[in-house]
Amino acid sequence: FIPKQIELIEVGPRDGLQNEPIAIPTEKKKELIAKLAKLGFSRIETTAFVHPKWIPQMSDSDEIAYYCNELGITYIALTPNLKALDRAIEAKVPQIAVFIGASSTFNKKNINKTTAESLMECKPLFAKAKDHHLFVRAYISMAFSCPFQGEVSFEEVQTVCDEFIHLGADEIDIGDTNGQADPKIVYERFSRLRYCYPDTTFVGHFHDTRKMALANTIAAIQAGITKFDSSVGGLGGCPYSPGATGNVATEELVDMLSRMGCETGINYEEVKKVSEFAKGLSSRL
Ligand code: HMG
Ligand code: MG
């Protein structure tokens, strides 16, 4: 089964660039965001209000947010804690994203708290975000496997999912953060999630570490998922996930889906050009 339409959420400026070891000038990031905005994405994840010591590449988040406001685009910014949320509210961000690892070891390395501690911290965060009428995207990272603990069980994913839904997440983003999932587990996990939570909107977030991200997308579509994150040029990687490579490349997804008659609203030739520009920003390619 192939749906008529898929929403692609471009995460290149955030997930794509966060792992770049050399500071990319803010002006270049703005140029990338402007080019992406012209392509017609419904939403772009543009920055993260994280600690600059932890993720130096995102230290210009205020300036990026102000620029996105000027452009008038719908964008998402990561807010891992209350301090981040306050910064995002101050910057007038329209959509925020929280992220919790289903694997506690990873969560501790990534945001310095166990999964249980992060879930506790989410309560006041969601309450405040809702008070400010913000759309809340909630990521479950390492939702299939983890570089530190190995296999991640469905129950571990469910623990985080239950709480996110209870707190009122507007969408839940299932991340194959280290790119180790295969189409079988993707199909099974998304089918089960859709069965357990029929009223919840899920998003697929695949990394292409083992070149299975396109196959995993098709598997998730078969399980009924119609929203996916991707990154132009396949840039990306989480600094706290050793060996994890880029997100699925937006241009590859657009090419595959349009050949199958599935509308994404994005033109392949145009996105290819932006992908070349994005790759030029990376010091690792
Ligand atoms: P922490 O060090 O535990 O924070 O960092 P703390 O609460 O102990 O506070 C220590 C100091 O940091 C204090 O300052 C705070 O004010 C300050 P001091 O009093 O010492 O002067 N502080 C902050 N400053 C700026 N912005 C903030 C902030 N919070 C506290 N938001 C924190 C905790 C969450 C901030 C840190 O661990 C962090 O920034 N982590 C970011 C990790 C990250 O961005 N990882 C990559 C994204 S996740 C990912 O890639 C996966 C995903 O793509 C999904 C997938 O691929 O599957 C989403
Ligand atoms: Mg990611």
**Whether pLDDT at 93 is above 90:** yes
Q: Residue 170 has what pLDDT?
A: 98
Q: Are 120 and 102 in contact (CB under 8 A)?
A: no
Least confidently predicted of 93-97, 190-194, 233-237: 233-237
What is the reported pLDDT for 1?
85
> Is the alpha carbon torsion for 137, 21, 73, 124 positive or negative?
positive
**Catalytic residue chosen out of the listed positions 122, 146, 161, 238:** 238
| Residue 238 falls in the annotated catalytic set | yes
ipTM > 0.90 (yes/no): yes
Q: What is the pLDDT of residue 269?
A: 98
- Count of Cβ atoms closer than 10 Å to residue 96 Cβ: 25
CA 141 to CA 190: how far, in whole Å?
14
**Mutation test residue for ligand 1: of 51, 122, 247, the one with most atoms within 8 Å of CB:** 51
Best of 9, 15, 49, 50 for a ligand 1 pocket test (most atoms within 8 Å of beta carbon): 50
> Phi-psi category of 150—alpha, beta or left, where left has phi over 0 and alpha has psi -120 to 50?
left
Task: Write the pLDDT tens digit of every residue in 33-70.
Answer: 999 999 999 999 999 999 999 999 999 999 999 999 99
Predicted pLDDT of residue 149? 93
Give pLDDT, residue 235.
95
